[in-house]
Structure 1
Amino acid sequence: MTIEVTHEQLDVELRRPAVRRRPWDRKYRTVLLVADGLAAVAAALLIHGAYGRWAVALALPPTWILAMLAHRTYDRGALGQGTEEYRRVLRGAVALPALAAAAYWLFTHDSALLHDMTMASVPAVLFALPVRHLLRRRLLRRWARGRDRSSTLLVGPSRGILELVGVLRRGGAQELQLAGVCLTDPENATDIRQLGIPVLGGVDDMNDVVRAMGVNAMVVLPAPELDAFVLRRMSWTAAAQGVDFLLAPTLADVSAARLAVRPTNGVPLVRIQSPNLSRFSRLPKELLDRSLAAVLLLLLALPMLVVALVVRLDSSGPALFRQQRVGRYGDHFTMLKFRTMRPDSEALKAELEHLNENSDGLLFKVKEDPRITRVGSFLRRSSLDELPQLLNVVRGHMSLVGPRPPLPAEVEEYTADIKRRLLVKPGLTGLWQVSGRSDLPWDEAVRLDLGYVDNWSMGLDLTILLRTGSAVVRGTGAY
């Protein structure tokens, strides 16, 4: 495939690029800058009140802003991106004591200033991160309403575009708003139109489409027709018209933290870091899981006793339901839950097989399940039936965050790929729980669990824990 270069196109490319800024871009950065400044001032005043010195109040705000700039917290690629944005803020906060130490050794030799600047980094982070979280939530709500989104053109083969559109649409609110596609195989345009997305032509029409549609971003998918020369020409055209030029990798569900560009003889190779699943790297998670679960058990001991009593009074049978589940590396353990069904529920399971809501996979879920008791229905909707699993977390069989603990019969049907779910401990909550639970198709639940295994980090765990509260309140998929 070749792209003809006309004199008109060459004139366009020789002009000074005029970046088509995202509508929310400038305002978002300004608010962040002001919020960071106020966070630094608040932290400085807090330290001044504790130690009675003014030097930190003068030095901290500009130093904090410089640290945020140095760690690119205001870059377009990080704004509104959640975990990546928070990670950059934390890196800047860690750099603050290092800058104070350098200033101490090279200039001031004032140990008090070094101490105050180091102590001030903690409240600065505690002020800055919640503000970013609130701003991001507000931005996501605006995107969900169709506001402040970037008009985007997709370029590539129909099959790849179908897969990408499916990923984008199941991911919830996001910035890219699909304006249309330019296909390398226009003969398959019907498949794209069935998704409600306009087909605006082929690759040769891309330049005219970009000018006419006024798009903010162009996403190009791999295709045999799009060789290095064609892609280079596309990037020049996009740069000349101030359009973001994005290349979509063939490998999906990879977090940005695992990607790094490694230039080799002028070729930008993308390195994908292997999943970080070593025992040493997961030691902080183990400590956090067991200690937090123990604290929660102490705080919830009395409410759990009340729930157990209500379960016993509501129907005959034990208060706790014990079931063999499969943990990390295929080890079996006894999982605990508050009983929500009649004692003969397993015997009745075969009679309800035709009502299974997850007939496309291995899970067995029935809405309006007649085996569920009156109290059990409430416990399931509120997720209170899961509380005894805190004991499993303390014992080390489970984690606070992880894939759903499967039954041995389910694991016997797993393919080699799905067995990757067993590389980590099952969780009390996880991506599938905060993304729809039993309403999710089996394939989607597997994709989320494998994505968690491959992209695990403490930041991801904390994000899931923060989302768990709202998921429990909504009760989506809890039955």
Structure 2
Amino acid sequence: MVADGLAAAAAAFLIHAAYGRWAVALVLPPTWIVAMFAHRTYDRSALGLGTEEYRRVLRGAVALPAMSAFAYWLFTHDSALLHDMIMAAVPVAVIAVVVRYTLRRRLHRRWARDRDRSATLLFGPSQGIVELAAVLRRGGAQELQVAGVCLSDPENAAAIRKLGLPFLGGIGDIDDVVRALGINTLVVLPVPGADVSVLRRMSWAAAAQGVDFLLAPVLTDVATSRLAVRPTNGVPLVRIAAPDLSRFSRLPKEVLDRFLAGALLLFLALPMLLIALVVRLDSPGPALFRQQRVGRYGDQFTMLKFRTMRPDSEALRAQLQHLNENSDGLLFKVKQDPRITRVGSFLRRSSLDELPQLINVVKGHMSLVGPRPSLPEEVEEYAPDVKRRLLVKPGLTGLWQVSGRSDLPWEEAVRLDLGYVDNWSTGLDLSILARTGSAVVRGTGAY
């Protein structure tokens, strides 16, 4: 609230500098705070989580001129003040969003240091808990700190212990665990075959102890923007919107991809030429590696990379099959691969070998963000569900790449790619691009 007041005061100063009137400095801060209250920007459920906080701020900025016009008509009749309040809507929204972003980064840093986090107890069937824990762990710094797990099927506790999470009992132990550990949040997954009254009593017990009661959906990889509550005869049904993958909705992404890729090619032309020269001098063979990959809708294209292996690497692959680090899936990855050249090892760790794929983006075969481009023989082995990866263009980077790359098991890589396909948005693309730099610097899973 203090930050919003300061943002409004800064915006009022800009208006004063432009028009030389001070009245807006007295009216704008309290009016802005009222607008933020009205649009619930101070709710704990919105602070520091997702983009809903920013949406509420922008909705408040849209409402500010209407509030000003209403006050003008009913009270002030001061046309200069009305003008200044309307003109202040844009700067106060921009400043407020920037300030909230700064505060959010500070909050996330505190969460990363295990400060101000909510002690959380998970309850549900073991398989659902395993999937939910995987989603929570890959999300980066977050408010929920899992203190333990209670299972509806305690006989499967071994699966929970394997994740390194404390197993604290069954449904009958929840109340004692909440009191003993000072639990702030109880996250409950639906239990197949359980009576609805069980969940109702759990919510009552949580309310009596001042504990937040969160009911997790059966589908965990669904973006919040696709969820909406639709009350029907008093029953709050949750609607899950279908992914919007139409050509029209993806037109801005297509334009932005090709524009940014073209600009990067111009900017990186000289470094790419130098890399190509070093590759040629380091080992015999061409500078570029060309390989058939599968793009959107199963269309094949020639993907370009800087060569990082010996020219006979494909012929030697069968001899190294026993060293495959991804034996649980279709990917072929070998740590300390003997086929990799000296320069190639550096190019892989730094991801510089991927730069020629900017040409694929300009040609329209790839996108800056998307699932990894698959080999034709991999696609032939895909299960029907996995083929959903082919509904979008493959990308230079994606959720798979910024979440661990080759260190991820096959099932988790598939889950990330399918989650991207179902929940694609411009905001998600920008978030992945922002995380790509740190992933490249860390070099995790790059081999």
Query: Same fold by TM-score, threshold 0.5 exceeded?
Result: yes
Query: Contact conserved, 2:24 with 2:81, CA < 8 A, in 1?
Result: no
Q: How does 1:4-403 map to 2 (within 5 A)?
A: 33-50=1-18, 52=20, 54=22, 57-96=25-64, 110=79, 114=83, 120-189=88-157, 191-193=159-161, 195-224=163-192, 226-403=194-371
Distance 1:339 1:111, change over 3 A: farther
Which has the higher mean CA deviation after the structures are superposed, 180-189 or 271-280?
180-189
Across the aligned residues of Structure 1 and Structure 2, the Cα RMSD in angstroms comes to 2.8
Counterpart of 2:33, as a letter, is I
Query: Contact conserved, 1:260 with 1:270, CA < 8 A, in 2?
Result: yes
| Deviation by residue 1:139-179 (Cα, 9 ceiling, x = unmatched) | 33333333322122223333433433343334443322233
Give the total of aligned pairs: 446
Which blocks of at least 5 consecutive residues in structure 2 are unaligned? none
Distance 1:97 1:302, change over 3 A: farther
What secondary structure does 1:317 align onto? coil
Which has the higher mean CA deviation after the structures are superposed, 334-343 or 432-441?
334-343
CA–CA distance in structure 2, aligned partners of residues 288 and 55 of structure 1: 43
Q: Which residue of 1 aligns with 2:402?
A: 434
Residue identity over aligned pairs, in percent, reads 80
Instruction: Report deviation, 1:275.
Output: 0.7
Q: Which residue of 2 aligns with 1:406?
A: 374
Which has the higher mean CA deviation after the structures are superposed, 59-68 or 104-113?
104-113
Instruction: Report deviation, 1:228.
Output: 2.5
Distance 1:151 1:333, change over 3 A: same
Instruction: Report deviation, 1:63.
Output: 4.3
Query: Contact conserved, 1:184 with 1:225, CA < 8 A, in 2?
Result: no
Distance 1:185 1:316, change over 3 A: closer
Distance 1:303 1:186, change over 3 A: closer
| Deviation by residue 1:237-271 (Cα, 9 ceiling, x = unmatched) | 21122110111111111111111111111111111
CA–CA distance in structure 1, aligned partners of residues 299 and 143 of structure 2: 42
| Deviation by residue 1:3-62 (Cα, 9 ceiling, x = unmatched) | xxxxxxxxxxxxxxxxxxxxxxxxxxxxxx333333333344345445555555555444
CA–CA distance in structure 2, aligned partners of residues 350 and 70 of structure 1: 64
Counterpart of 2:53, as a letter, is E
Counterpart of 2:298, as a letter, is G
| Deviation by residue 1:321-342 (Cα, 9 ceiling, x = unmatched) | 2222111111112222222222
Query: Contact conserved, 1:154 with 1:219, CA < 8 A, in 2?
Result: yes
Query: Contact conserved, 2:118 with 2:143, CA < 8 A, in 1?
Result: yes
Which blocks of at least 5 consecutive residues in structure 1 are unaligned? 1-32
Instruction: Report deviation, 1:191.
Output: 4.7
Instruction: Report deviation, 1:400.
Output: 1.1
CA–CA distance in structure 2, aligned partners of residues 398 and 63 of structure 1: 48
Query: Contact conserved, 1:83 with 1:460, CA < 8 A, in 2?
Result: no
Q: Which residue of 1 aligns with 2:390?
A: 422
Query: Contact conserved, 1:104 with 1:111, CA < 8 A, in 2?
Result: no
Q: Which residue of 2 aligns with 1:25?
A: none
Query: Contact conserved, 2:124 with 2:189, CA < 8 A, in 1?
Result: yes
Distance 1:266 1:410, change over 3 A: same
| Deviation by residue 1:256-293 (Cα, 9 ceiling, x = unmatched) | 11111111111111111111111111122112212222
What secondary structure does 2:301 align onto? strand
Query: Contact conserved, 1:82 with 1:133, CA < 8 A, in 2?
Result: no
TM-score (normalised: structure 1)? 0.83
Kindly indicate whether structure 1 or structure 2 has the higher relative contact order, using CA contacts under 8 Å at least 6 residues apart: 1
Distance 1:156 1:340, change over 3 A: closer
Q: Which residue of 1 aligns with 2:419?
A: 451
CA–CA distance in structure 2, aligned partners of residues 310 and 104 of structure 1: 70
Instruction: Report deviation, 1:419.
Output: 0.6
Query: Contact conserved, 2:138 with 2:403, CA < 8 A, in 1?
Result: no
Instruction: Report deviation, 1:450.
Output: 0.3
Aligned pair partner of 2:435 in 449, 457, 467: 467
| Deviation by residue 1:65-86 (Cα, 9 ceiling, x = unmatched) | 3443333332211222133434
CA–CA distance in structure 2, aligned partners of residues 98 and 283 of structure 1: 33
Counterpart of 1:403, as a letter, is P
Distance 1:445 1:183, change over 3 A: closer
Which has the higher mean CA deviation after the structures are superposed, 273-282 or 34-43?
34-43
Instruction: Report deviation, 1:434.
Output: 0.8
CA–CA distance in structure 2, aligned partners of residues 34 and 422 of structure 1: 48
Distance 1:394 1:262, change over 3 A: same
CA–CA distance in structure 2, aligned partners of residues 101 and 298 of structure 1: 50
CA–CA distance in structure 2, aligned partners of residues 54 and 287 of structure 1: 44
TM-score (normalised: structure 2)? 0.89
Q: Which residue of 2 aligns with 1:11?
A: none
CA–CA distance in structure 1, aligned partners of residues 160 and 404 of structure 2: 27
Counterpart of 1:410, as a letter, is E
CA–CA distance in structure 1, aligned partners of residues 340 and 315 of structure 2: 13
